[in-house]
Amino acid sequence: MNKRLLVPRFLQELDDKLLRNKPGTWAARTHLVIYFAFLFALLTAAFCYFVFFDAKQDSNIVSWNVFVGLIAFIGFVFWLIFLLRFNVFKRYGNRFAIDSLKDFSLYFIAIGAMTGVCFVPSAVETYRANQQFGNEEIVNDINELNVSACKLEYGLLPFTWEPDTFRVVPKLPNSPVNEETTVVVETDTVLSEEPGDVTYKYELIDTADLRIKIMGADSLLKINDTMYVFYDCPDYTFVSSYAADEYTTAKLLSSVDIYYNTIKNYVQPDRTALLKRMEEFRVKYAVSSPYEYGDFYDNNEKARYDNKIRKKYDLSRISNGIDNVVMKKYDWVKNWDDYLRVFYYITLVFTLLVFIFRHSTVKTFFLSVLTGVLLSIITALIMAVSYSRGSSVLSFMIFYYAVFIVLALSIFGVRVRKAVQGIGLNLFVFMTAFIPWIFVALNKDMKEPRSYVEGLTFKPINWSLYFLLAEIAGTVILLILVHTLFKKLYRRWYAAPEE
Amino acid sequence: MHKSAAAEISSYLKHGDYSVAVRRILDLCLDSGVDDLIKKAINWSREYHAHEKADPGKALPQNFIDTAENLLAEATKPETGTWQNYQLVSAEKISKTYSKGNFSLKPISISINTGNVLGIVGENGNGKTTLLRCVAGQLALDNGEIKYHLLKDPDSYAIKNHIAFIPQRIPKWYGMLKDNLHFSAAIAGIYGDKNDLMVDFMLERLNLSSYAHLTWSQISSGYRTRFEIARILLQKPRLLILDEPLANLDINAQQTILTDLIFMAKGSHNPMGIMLSSQQLHEVEKVADTVLFIRQGECLYKSNDKEGKITSNAVEFETTAARETIIDLFGEDNIELQFNGGFYTIISSQLSAQQIIGRMIEGQVPVTYFRDITYSTKRFF
């Protein structure tokens, strides 16, 4: 039994068994890649766990991802060296019907394991943030911070709700209209206005804009069927974090909530207790950020009270910390689809390269890479010279793909191995998974200009769904062709005699 | 067949030719197809090699001889795996011209059956490797046709799976040598315990067991050739093509490897044909059923076609006697005497090789080397 460093006995036994029974699986070394990727992931996770001890600090996850990615790439190169050693296909060994698909899957799993490790720091960062701060805790703390600040600095707060008047018209005129109207302000509508006639300038809006404005309005006064006055509550949220309450039962208090709960019926607070609490929050969350530009000093009223309160209670630094925590906590929940795509495409591209490399000669493989690069350069040059649109690139790609298909299929007709056919076949294989996506992109590119022309009568298309379907279709087509066509083409081309 | 082999092996044992006896018993046990017997033979062979390593030249213990006789008796008991002679490959007027360069392989026809050895000789750059690569399916033919009689409508992959080609410069192996052997056996469909058994067998058969845990860079070029042969044999090819296999082997190993290949080709375990090129004319001629001499891409001589073509006898010899002494001995009209700086060559249409050496003994000419090359390709060099 050949002893390998750090390989446990059971894996060594599995390795020996595969060598004697499943040479194709053994040669792919997927079992060892998974094991070492797992070890590396554990090590990375343990290291990151201790490094990411303070979730409120700024994230340097990109550096970590690059660092781990580089190590994973070294692992990939090391694996490639092992792959060069044994190849059932290139030794003309016994091949079974499922072997090509199996090989492709094994490469995908092995590369997936290596790619997956790159996401470990990010996952640990999220885990640590969730471990240190509860979802409800963050929301409650933000609310408490804002309410306490308002209670402590009641004297500084503005109470006037800014009005904005609009008249709804069926169709907007081409030039803006600024007219005046008189509206009657009723008691209890706002604090700042005395009941009576008030003159406001109004703007014209259409019904669509009205709907949008109603959804975001703090307060609304309907004067008649076409005339509306919107009131904006002053900002009492000194600390806020985008979507911090998206996944919690407790919700962030808006300025309106604070106004009605705290300010409208103001009660003198226990200042000592509140100040102590504010200091606790400062210790808990405050953190300096390298991207911080300091507090703004502006002459307007809002800036004046806002800056004073922020500065007094170190709320900018507290906001930094809370933002960092929230960003880390919900990173995976919010971005899982992006992460999945990054993982999938990195894994797929490397898998395709390895699959092609394992089925063609070294010379043809590198000529294929060179051809791909040259075609990209030539296409870019044509595009630059002819001021073409995006659809032209996509059309070029479809044209190239058609040429590659013709070259690859010509392998069935000749009895000699030619590099040009091998290059065609390699690029045919490489592009297949992306072709449905390219077709959808081309379709979108051709249809989108129409939407501007047709304006609101154009029915919007859910392109993201079509792109998702194209991605799935590309993968399925690729796997079907690997199993049916590509294996036959490679077998015929690689084994053919040379000129 | 088993009985004649058994008699031959008994004779080896009786006269102390243990090395060849061990190899032949291993072959016989393999042909029996009984795994337990093969295992016993492997263990017995290991004992022999261990003894040879520890006490070379010391007499073997009696139980070694007893085991040998038991193995022999058991291996000859079942009449399984009878050897059959059938046609493997035939090439009809195949020719090849390279697009770059001006070399052409002129039309050549060959045929190889199981157990046959086809030797190809000729000077460097005259088309030996081209011919071998054409038969191996590595080079496209310009004209002619090659038929692989055991394959039905084969594609190029099936042909290369069917034929093994060992090039003159063997590509480097990576990893442990034994792993490579296990892998080769597995890709040929030999799995599990059988895989272990066959690898152990091949290592013992070619006396490579003590090198199995080494790597390619740790063994000499001669052993590399032997490991490559072991690897190829594990893949059970029906036609084995070797390009200059003897180039890296010492003189003893050359003979051993050639005879081993012949024994295995003629065994019932995996009867195969062998095609090899070499500069070692005498070694090749000793084992080959047919020898082709190629010069400038053309087959000048085929040993099977010797009738009617050889009209004179030829010998080569080495002596310290002067040229005049030799001419005086035979008479200038009876022989044609040539000297290449090392050997003398006598070509005579009247005197046979026996008569020539007889005269030299009678004439008390000191002879340090003598060989009848009447039917050897040596006379073409």
Q: How far does the CA of residue A18 sit from the closest CA of chain B (Å)?
A: 9
- Give the total residue count for chain B: 381
Query: In sequence order, what are the residues at sequence separation of 6 or more whose Cβ sits closer than 8 angstroms to the Cβ of residue B344?
Result: B316, B317, B318, B319, B323, B326, B337, B338
Say if residue B200 is in the same domain as residue B265.
yes
What amino acid is encoded at B4 in this protein? S
Whether A20 and B175 lie within 8 Å, measured CB to CB: no
Say if residue B260 is in the same domain as residue B325.
no
List of chain A residues with pLDDT < 70 = 1-3, 174-200, 290-303, 449-459
Structurally, how many domains does chain B consist of? 3
Q: Of B251, B278, B305, which one is at a domain's C-terminal end?
A: B305
Q: What is the pLDDT of residue B306?
A: 54
B157 in contact with A at a CB cutoff of 8 Å?
yes
Give one DSSP letter per residue of B191-206, joined into a string: -HHHHHHHHHHHHHHT
In a domain, B81, yes or no: no
Question: What is the chain B residue with the closest CA to A417?
Answer: B140
Which residues pair with residue B319 across a beta bridge?
B367
∠ at Cα B35 (B30, B36), nearest 5°?
A: 115
Give one DSSP letter per residue of A439-462, joined into a string: HHHHHHHHHHHHHHHHGGGSPP--
What are the φ and ψ backbone dihedral angles of B277, each rounded to 5 degrees? -110, 150
Report how far residue A248's alpha carbon sits from residue A384's, in angstroms, rounded to the nearest whole number: 50
A491 chain-B contacts, CB cut-off 8 A: 155, 157
Could you tell me if A82 and A358 are in contact, meaning their C-beta atoms sit under 8 angstroms apart? no
Say if residue B152 is in the same domain as residue B211.
yes
B234 chain-A contacts, CB cut-off 8 A: none
Q: What is the pLDDT of residue A69?
A: 95
B235 in contact with A at a CB cutoff of 8 Å?
yes
Q: Which of A92, A417, A490 to mutate to test the interface with B (most CBs of B within 10 A)?
A: A92
In the 8-state DSSP scheme, what is residue A390?
Answer: H
Whether A495 and B196 lie within 8 Å, measured CB to CB: no
What end-to-end distance do the CA atoms of chain A give, in Å?
Answer: 43
Q: What is the pLDDT of residue A459?
A: 64
Whether A26 and B161 lie within 8 Å, measured CB to CB: no
Q: Which residue range is the domain that position B37 belongs to?
A: 2-76
In a domain, B116, yes or no: yes
Could you tell me if B54 and B35 are in contact, meaning their C-beta atoms sit under 8 angstroms apart? no
Nearest by CB to residue A93, choosing from B137, B155, B187, is: B187
In a domain, B95, yes or no: yes
Reduced to 3 states, what is the DSSP secondary structure of residue A62? helix
Quick one: A441 exposed, middle or buried, by C-beta within 10 A (0-12, 13-18, 19+)? buried
Whether B183 and A492 lie within 8 Å, measured CB to CB: no
Q: What is the pLDDT of residue B81?
A: 57
Question: What is the chain A residue with the closest CA to B157?
Answer: A495
In a domain, B137, yes or no: yes
Reduced to 3 states, what is the DSSP secondary structure of residue A202? strand
Whether A27 and B195 lie within 8 Å, measured CB to CB: no
For residue B90, CA distances in Å to A367, B211, B289 come to 37, 38, 15
Query: In sequence order, what are the residues at sequence separation of 6 or more whose Cβ sits closer than 8 angstroms to the Cβ of residue B125?
Result: B103
In the 8-state DSSP scheme, what is residue B176?
Answer: B
Q: Which of A2, A21, A78, A86 to mutate to test the interface with B (most CBs of B within 10 A)?
A: A86
For the domain that residue B174 is a member of, what is the CATH number?
3.40.50.300
Quick one: B57 exposed, middle or buried, by C-beta within 10 A (0-12, 13-18, 19+)? exposed
Report how far residue A410's alpha carbon sits from residue A425's, in angstroms, rounded to the nearest whole number: 10
Say if residue B54 is in the same domain as residue B101.
no
Q: Of B281, B305, B329, which one is at a domain's C-terminal end?
A: B305
Q: pLDDT tens string for chain B (381 positions)?
A: 566 778 888 888 888 888 889 999 999 899 888 999 999 999 999 999 988 888 877 788 888 888 888 898 888 875 555 667 889 999 999 999 987 777 889 999 999 999 899 999 988 888 999 999 999 999 999 999 999 999 998 999 999 999 999 998 999 999 999 999 999 999 999 999 999 999 999 999 999 999 999 999 999 988 999 999 999 999 999 999 999 888 878 888 888 888 888 888 888 888 899 999 988 788 888 888 899 989 888 888 887 665 546 778 889 999 988 888 888 888 877 788 888 888 889 988 888 889 999 989 988 889 999 988 888 877 777
B189 chain-A contacts, CB cut-off 8 A: 94
Nearest by CB to residue B175, choosing from A22, A85, A94, is: A85
Quick one: B273 exposed, middle or buried, by C-beta within 10 A (0-12, 13-18, 19+)? buried
Task: Report chain A's C-alpha Rg in angstroms.
Answer: 32
Report how far residue B323's alpha carbon sits from residue B315's, in angstroms, rounded to the nearest whole number: 15
Whether B161 and A86 lie within 8 Å, measured CB to CB: no
- Tell me what the pLDDT averaged over chain A comes to: 88
Report how far residue A110's alpha carbon sits from residue A117's, in angstroms, rounded to the nearest whole number: 11
Q: What is the pLDDT of residue A191?
A: 46
Q: What are the domain boundaries of chain A?
A: 133-157+237-329, 162-232, 360-499
Q: Count Cβ–Cβ pairs < 8 Å, chain A vs chain B.
A: 78
Give one DSSP letter per residue of A114-163, joined into a string: HHHHTTHHHHHHHHHHHHHS-HHHHHHHHHHHHHHHHHHTGGG---PPEE
Say if residue B253 is in the same domain as residue B273.
yes
A27 chain-B contacts, CB cut-off 8 A: 183
Q: What is the pLDDT of residues A182-236, one digit of tens each?
A: 666 554 544 455 556 666 678 888 888 888 888 888 888 887 888 888 888 989 9
Q: How far does the CA of residue A413 sit from the closest CA of chain B (Å)?
A: 13
CB atoms within 10 A of CB B84: 10
Structure tokens, B6: 């058994």
Report how far residue B63's alpha carbon sits from residue B69's, in angstroms, rounded to the nearest whole number: 10
Report how far residue A110's alpha carbon sits from residue A192's, in angstroms, rounded to the nearest whole number: 67
In a domain, B82, yes or no: no
Say if residue B267 is in the same domain as residue B173.
yes
Specify the pairing of strand A227-232 against strand B163-166.
unpaired
For the domain that residue B336 is a member of, what is the CATH number?
3.30.70.980
